[in-house]
């Protein structure tokens, strides 16, 4: 989650399960999702190839210290 920015993700390769709030979406190449600020979000690869996506950050503050992590499979808490 971010307090000061929203994001727009565009899938450019692969398939992804994207959680936005309580919704789970299955996105494919050329599909996108808007993530409002203060909304919990997560992306997961669910296909056979790597997922690649473009993230556009929108807001008045885009620094990494605006990230709030609730769970992290990669130890970045």
pLDDT tens for each residue of 12-48: 999 999 999 999 999 999 999 999 999 999 999 999 9
d(CA 46, CA 26): 9
Q: Which residues contact 13 (CB under 8 A, 6 or more apart)?
A: 29, 49, 50, 51, 52
Task: Dump pLDDT digits (tens) for 47-60.
Answer: 999 999 999 999 99
C-beta atoms surrounding 59 within 10 Å:
13
Instruction: Give phi and psi for 66, each to the nearest 5.
Output: -90, 5
């Amino acid at each position: 989650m971010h307090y000061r920015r929203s994001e727009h993700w565009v899938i450019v390769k692969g398939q992804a399960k994207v959680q936005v709030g309580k919704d789970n979406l299955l996105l494919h190449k050329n599909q996108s999702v808007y993530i409002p600020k203060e909304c919990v979000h997560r992306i997961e690869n669910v296909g056979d190839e790597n997922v690649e996506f473009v993230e556009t950050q929108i807001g008045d503050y885009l620094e990494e210290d605006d990230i709030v992590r609730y769970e992290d499979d990669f130890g970045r808490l």
